[in-house]
Structure 1
């Protein structure tokens, strides 16, 4: 990475992407005292909003665009932030420091923040373009799904990851029959241990969700342009009224690649969220960022990651000291369960379960030697909070005390 330039109080900051990361960065720049112009470019018609509730509260009718907005629409005008909805960046000219927009105009920048997020991965199979084959990345997606799913309907969810399971739980809450189709032999195969996979499978089954594991989807079939079933590799047809595909996401890093920025499974950045061009930053789902705790680079998809990247970029642009490092974390709400995850299970050689999964309140600690790499806590806030500290501080832990519920997590952390 190049040496950063001195902050310019009159610098025009352009933010491409009005999601959680971009919206937060615009607000933080003002909070941190940046006086220059800020332009926030967003593809959706509404201001930045919280996305995790889309698969939960929005589907169940407990939230809408106003309640999920990061800031009310008036905030942007009141703080002299030029918010431009329904707009997309088409290209970046780094030499001239301009961005070409979808309305044909060109926008000059002094500092540019890429907050372009990630997109749902589509399955390249027959019938993928049928009506009723949906993803869940935006408020519009959630609204379409909510209008489709209900009593007497069957929802097929392709993908047994966290998004798929959250959608399944919300589908059941709406009164629909739900079947989850997962190509691996267990749920959450890429992101969680077998203890958690088995727990969530049993819990969802208790709530009426059915599962097809080891199920390879080869096509969608329909009538009159509307999906009516999912075809599996073994020849079976799973009848349904709607499908949600949740098999992962790919970073929207085309703008960065096309203008010659360094990329690697996302836009490569340093601890200030700065790219290989010192005038350009990347934050949120699109950023491939350092993880000092683990001594590696990684691309993360979570709200805390979006917030941390926004703090880093806004601090650098405003000339403030960088924010302190954080333990990466995320969460998933399903039924009455709150799963809180701290860290990542890199280079793990032992798994320790604290508590009894049958009680619905337990935590799984992933260890490398006597250090905690990650913790997955179900309805167990102390284990999550103290686990975050242990991960960040790289403090050795006594495994016997960690497994003993009679020893509090505060005592374990000490």
Structure 2
């Protein structure tokens, strides 16, 4: 029987769980239904390529809430439930078994899926993608038996899994189409820092290469063949070549989709009673004055809180500056801000790159677009303030470690 006054959340992810939590914290006492395809209750994804994969974090630490939280807060958590259709006019969600549920408001937190290789051998055993908890378990198990692995893709997932493999004593080769790791994200100046980091830890980095085939024997991967004819042997292959937003439900429902589900600053879709948050949402950002889709943890934590409040009729907008972090070997990093590829004209370093203790700032016209602190802590607030201020700063003072970052905002004579 349909629950017509329910707030339904499709996607029992971190974003979905945070939305349910916010609805209750904001005083909503109506039915909340949280639907998820997986059998696991909502969990966080960063540990899957960081602490959990490294064996530093116990399995219980990855979950958003204790198992009893959902019953205690009267959240109807339905795991193993695959939504197959959304009917905006009828305010209903249909499931794989043909059953339906009605809703008053609907939130889509359907996340994203890894892009899969289409080369021969891509479906062999021993080829891994990292998105779900079970994926991390399988990769961790492969570290125990493998002596050598190949990682395809030098993005954040690829580099973090490479670092975890090296920590487990496994030989690692990383294959990347671009000239440097993270080149589109960080630009050449900062990308080189991560190339040097992994080289210093014994990773065999190969750039400007194309994968032709994953080779195997008896149905199991045993190496990677490149288009130049060279072959790298491996006991396992990890693929990290990006993710694709899960927009299938929105597409079929006739919602506006463009690099994700297109939403306004209130996270409302093209239908007034349907919202979207997290990886799947391409949201209008008031500060940047454009739509952006951010695939990072902070968005999955904070965006659904705004969506939940908007569903309750509150006048709220999501205007947080994007933030993400990584831990690789002895390098810890936080990044605050947003820069499109090629969207900056200067990179300013503050600190010592040779010891990997610095802050890098991306500037355009003297304005700070983003800042990345590497092994320098407790500076995200002033970096965020510099980004949101929209003020031009003196690059010399920005680079000077003796000039406090906060001073660049307080004194007019610090501006350019």
User: Normalization by structure 1: what TM-score?
Assistant: 0.95
Residue 325 (structure 2) pairs with residue 339 (structure 1) = no
Residue 213 (structure 2) pairs with residue 194 (structure 1) = no
Aligned to 2:68: 74
Counterparts in 2 of 1:186 and 1:161: CA distance versus 1, 3 Å = same
Match of 1:398 among 394, 398, 416: 394
Once the two structures are superposed, residues 158-208 of structure 1 have per-residue CA deviations (whole angstroms, 9 ceiling, x without a partner) of 001111110000011111111100011111112112222211111111111
Once the two structures are superposed, residues 226-254 of structure 1 have per-residue CA deviations (whole angstroms, 9 ceiling, x without a partner) of 10001101011110011111010000001
Shift of 1:382: 4.4
Q: Distance in 2 between matches of 1:151 and 1:390?
A: 47
Aligned to 1:370: 366
Counterparts in 2 of 1:138 and 1:250: CA distance versus 1, 3 Å = same
Aligned to 1:5: none
Aligned to 1:154: 148
Counterparts in 2 of 1:34 and 1:188: CA distance versus 1, 3 Å = same
CA contact (8 A) 2:143 2:165 kept: yes
Q: Distance in 1 between matches of 2:263 and 2:113?
A: 20
Aligned to 2:414: none
Q: Distance in 1 between matches of 2:151 and 2:108?
A: 31
Match of 2:357 among 350, 355, 361: 361
CA contact (8 A) 2:265 2:318 kept: no
Residue 224 (structure 2) pairs with residue 233 (structure 1) = no
Match of 1:262, SS?
A: coil
1:254-265 aligned at under 5 Å gives the runs 254-265=248-259
Q: Distance in 1 between matches of 2:73 and 2:311?
A: 17
Once the two structures are superposed, residues 52-73 of structure 1 have per-residue CA deviations (whole angstroms, 9 ceiling, x without a partner) of 0101111122224321111011
Q: Distance in 2 between matches of 1:63 and 1:383?
A: 26
User: Normalization by structure 2: what TM-score?
Assistant: 0.94
Q: Work out the number of aligned pairs and report it.
A: 405
CA contact (8 A) 2:175 2:209 kept: yes
Match of 1:160, SS?
A: coil
Mind listing any 5+ residue stretches in structure 1 that lack a counterpart?
1-9
Shift of 1:396: 2.6
Aligned to 1:208: 202
CA contact (8 A) 1:33 1:318 kept: no
Aligned to 1:222: 216
> Over the residues paired in the alignment, what is the CA RMSD in angstroms?
1.4
Counterparts in 2 of 1:16 and 1:152: CA distance versus 1, 3 Å = closer
Aligned to 1:140: 134
Residue 408 (structure 2) pairs with residue 381 (structure 1) = no
Aligned to 1:307: 301
CA contact (8 A) 1:326 1:392 kept: no
CA contact (8 A) 2:360 2:372 kept: yes
Match of 2:344 among 348, 352, 358: 348
Match of 1:327 among 312, 321, 326: 321
Aligned to 2:244: 250
Match of 1:191, SS?
A: helix
Q: Distance in 2 between matches of 1:285 and 1:301?
A: 5
Once the two structures are superposed, residues 26-48 of structure 1 have per-residue CA deviations (whole angstroms, 9 ceiling, x without a partner) of 11110111111000011111111
Aligned to 1:6: none
Mind listing any 5+ residue stretches in structure 2 that lack a counterpart?
411-416
Match of 2:53, SS?
A: coil
CA contact (8 A) 1:370 1:398 kept: yes
Moved more, 290-299 or 161-170: 290-299
Q: Distance in 2 between matches of 1:36 and 1:245?
A: 43
